[in-house]
A and B are shown apart, each in its own frame.
Chain A
């Protein structure tokens, strides 16, 4: 009897999908996500696209609306090539930190994959975007789509007005400084930020309304006195050193025209928008992977998906969380999916079934049972660096057989400084955490001086940590870009901290 009952309860029983099945599966997944895991999510908007559209989407940062630039064309050409040659598959999903949360499903996916992707993106990532403190504080999920829309139209208009080349020069230069175009340590005053977005949104809307207005003279060529006064007062309030190069240049560059400043601002805003994602790769993917794994297993336990489907799921899941060893030709660093998933599974284990070692390392959560709350707290309040520092357990380090290598460029040998043993756990954990601190491995370059009344020379300083200098291969060309934005001499010194 149970046999027939199970058969009838299945959400789907072969690889084909249609919108009814999708909806039914989404409801079942949502049931687990909201009532069992108690996730807190933005409304989902799930879009079905073809593989070509998927390629399109990911050549431009995965955003559905992006301005035009040759570098996106280049990425598209590369991705298309490697996809057609079978070097790489397409990502199963793209999900956008927006409200509603937009996730893409590829039409080629089997139904099992669609379910996996929905659980992963529309609930895992979605929950993370909505709850993690970095995203909550630094990104504006409600405004991003209209902002991108504005950016796209604005840049297209600039191209019309001033020509491709002019626009390209500014965008190229601003792209080169994207990594230095974010606020890391101190946030800009929140109010003005909100104000600006509101202003921009209003401007975008205004343009939309006046789309047929042939008398429109946007973008303006020269700034009026009031704007100039406002900008200069902002410049006076910037306290040096300033870590956000793009921000400083946008405000203080002696040569940029208003529309060029706006372009720099667009690039800077987009860079800032992606900054939380760069800091939470392990957590974000770990969260999504943990959630899809839990949900799919739960659906299987409830008899809603078949043996075959769960096997197909496990096959994809295990390739997603596969971690090659350091000496494997496929190795290219630690897989964030693998590390995040392993750590989160381990937190669940520690809460439910701790060993003595765990009680010693994690007295606060070991054996307490409420793993859902522990995980949700971690998802909300940590980024990769602090999460690893707090939660990387000896068991995970042992399972990964992690070891630390100290490499001093002056020495002829590298040294194994710690391995996965009693003496090494803390050091390995600290080192791994610091590797996820972007502040440590993006070069720390700040504006230390700009003589705005005199020779207008811009002085930058690279604060050198552990003797690591800037790579000569790119330094000169990036400096050329900085000079083109600044319009006057730019000097870069490298000084040990």
Chain B
């Protein structure tokens, strides 16, 4: 009999082919990116956070080999399952290209325009989507506004509070010192004492024993002295863990969503705005440890609401945009001090406001909002006919025109128009793309 044996490998580390996968994704990067962008345009935002099945042209990752061309030369093939053929029968060939559809097995190894399908995980998907987007002014803020501090371990010190005592270091030092100073150990002393007891128990000690007893007593005394002189733990031995306050970058962001919910904003408009907000939220979430969202809706007055109310409940009234900005500032001052939070504001509106209000908005933005914000995005939601009318940057609804006047002065201010869901991703990418920001 041979020594056959079993090995249980189920517990072996998984994902052995992860390295191969990364190499593959890198290899097909351009095509995958294209596919990701294409699929984003078509999918709903709710699914944005999931993995995605994508197809790329298999040509991009072909592994070519020399092959014989099936359309040339002579061949004789053997097939199974003859039913009515006899030797010498002649069969007309199917027209070129038509006869290939048998079973449509996707060949991924080389030829043709086949699509190669596979699934990207959520992280891979978002990584690729956000790949060349960048948070505007992130660097600037973190350099400028380092206010928060945290205590970090910074080695060992000789002074500190008892709770920070480093026991291991302390005991190690004490041990070394005791060895160096020849501190008599308790064990040695106990041995001597033992001997002393023995001697004392002897009723009639002889001379030698008396001498030994005396010597032991002397020795013990000397040891006691030495032990007092070289204590078990000396203040010199004690060490403490040291902590130093270090400045940390603020890694929390708050995102204010401002939206006009007056009658002029219908379901369609709200839906478009929502998509933009969600995209921004996802984006921020990838960059900051913590992201808070504040929803502020307004008609002729503004209020902070929860998400459900924000998107789905209706309200009627006039439109005074500046109320939303005031409310936003109020909330910000109350809960999100600018030196601790990175502040992002996204405002969606159909562009109409009470006359004179636009001016007030600009005023507020200029003096109070822009100086504390990382980024301010204004999205004007139009219907498609309007988009054609307002094809020029300069023409537009009142708010648009008013914002145009001061926008150039602020690098972190952006305004853009959206009319269709498929505009959102391009617009978003445009707002945050690295190149764009460098150019700006």
B-binding residues in A (CB < 8 A): 19, 22-23, 26, 30, 34, 41, 43-50, 52-53, 55-56, 59-60, 68-74, 76-78, 80-81, 84, 104, 107, 122, 164, 168, 172, 175-180, 323-332, 334, 400-409, 411-421, 423-424, 428, 431-432, 435, 441-443, 445, 462, 464-475, 477-478, 481
Contact = CB atoms under 8 A, between A and B. Distances in A.
B228 interface: no
A470 B89 contact: no
Contacts of B20: 59-60, 68-70, 72-73, 76
Contacts of A180: 66
B67 A473 contact: yes
Contact of A45 (B7, B10, B86, B91): B7
Contacts of A69: 20, 23
B82 A420 contact: yes
B163 interface: no
Interface in B315-358: none
A242 B112 CA distance: 31
B116 A74 contact: yes
Contact of B93 (A74, A413, A428): A413
B65 A404 contact: no
B22 to A, nearest CB: 7
A74 B73 contact: no
Among B1, B61, B77, find the residue whose CB has the most chain A CB atoms closer than 10 A. Answer: B77
Interface stretch (B11-19, B237-245, B378-386, B403-411): B11-19
B94 to A, nearest CB: 10
Contacts of B97: none
Interface stretch (B101-109, B144-152, B215-223, B289-297): B101-109
A475 B64 CA distance: 8
Contacts of B77: 404-405, 407, 431, 435
B20 to A, nearest CB: 3
Interface in B73-99: 73-83, 85-93
B27 to A, nearest CB: 4
18 contacts: A23-B6, A45-B4, A53-B9, A74-B116, A76-B17, A77-B21, A164-B26, A172-B63, A329-B102, A401-B81, A403-B79, A406-B75, A415-B88, A419-B85, A419-B86, A431-B77, A478-B64, A481-B64
B103 A331 contact: yes
Contact of B65 (A19, A78, A334, A478): A478
A415 B66 contact: no
Among B2, B20, B93, find the residue whose CB has the most chain A CB atoms closer than 10 A. Answer: B20
A419 B89 CA distance: 10
A32 B178 CA distance: 74
B118 A80 contact: yes
Contact of B111 (A81, A465, A468, A471): A471
A70 B16 contact: no
Given A47-B9, A73-B20, A77-B118, 5 more contacts: A56-B17, A72-B20, A401-B80, A402-B80, A407-B77
A416 B87 contact: yes
Given A419-B87, A470-B69, A332 B103 contact: yes
B44 interface: no
B78 A432 contact: yes
B74 A324 contact: no
B139 interface: no
A421 B77 CA distance: 17
A246 to B, nearest CB: 13
Contacts of B61: 70-71, 74
Nearest to A76: B17
A416 B87 CA distance: 5
Contacts of B75: 406-407, 466, 468
B111 A474 contact: yes
A76 B23 CA distance: 12
Q: 6 tightest CB-CB pairs across the interface, nearest first? A: A325-B81, A73-B24, A467-B73, A73-B20, A468-B73, A77-B118
Contact of A412 (B28, B63, B93): B93
B68 interface: yes
A103 to B, nearest CB: 10
Nearest to B112: A473
B140 interface: no
B81 A326 contact: yes
A353 B65 CA distance: 47
B208 interface: no
Contact-residue bracket for chain B: 35 or more
B56 to A, nearest CB: 10
B110 to A, nearest CB: 5
B72 interface: yes
Given A30-B1, A413-B91, A470-B68, A403 B73 contact: no
A334 B7 contact: no
Contacts of A468: 68-69, 72-75
B3 interface: yes
B67 A443 contact: yes
A126 to B, nearest CB: 10
Among B17, B66, B110, find the residue whose CB has the most chain A CB atoms closer than 10 A. Answer: B66
A419 B6 contact: no
A469 to B, nearest CB: 4
B62 interface: yes
Contacts of B83: 325, 327, 401
Contact of B87 (A44, A164, A421): A421
B7 A46 contact: yes
A415 B89 contact: yes
A46 B17 contact: no
Contacts of A412: 92-93
A402 to B, nearest CB: 5
B388 interface: no
Contacts of B112: 473
Among B76, B81, B103, B111, find the residue whose CB has the most chain A CB atoms closer than 10 A. Answer: B76
B78 A77 contact: no
B110 A473 contact: yes
B98 to A, nearest CB: 14
B247 to A, nearest CB: 36
A327 B81 contact: yes
A46 B111 CA distance: 38
Nearest to B80: A400
A173 B27 CA distance: 15
A325 to B, nearest CB: 3
A67 B289 CA distance: 37
A421 B23 CA distance: 54
A443 B66 CA distance: 7
Contact of B68 (A68, A423, A443): A443
B419 interface: no
Given A34-B1, A72-B17, A73-B22, A428 B78 contact: yes
B65 A179 contact: yes
Contact of B4 (A26, A76, A179, A404): A26
B76 A404 contact: yes
Contact of B110 (A30, A424, A474): A474
B5 interface: yes
B119 interface: yes
B371 to A, nearest CB: 46
Interface in B145-195: none
B117 interface: yes
A402 B82 contact: yes
Contact of B80 (A326, A418, A472): A326
Contacts of B207: none
A357 B75 CA distance: 30
Nearest to B65: A179
Contacts of B118: 74, 77-78, 80-81
B80 A334 contact: yes
A101 to B, nearest CB: 9
A71 B63 contact: yes
B81 A406 contact: no
B76 A407 contact: yes
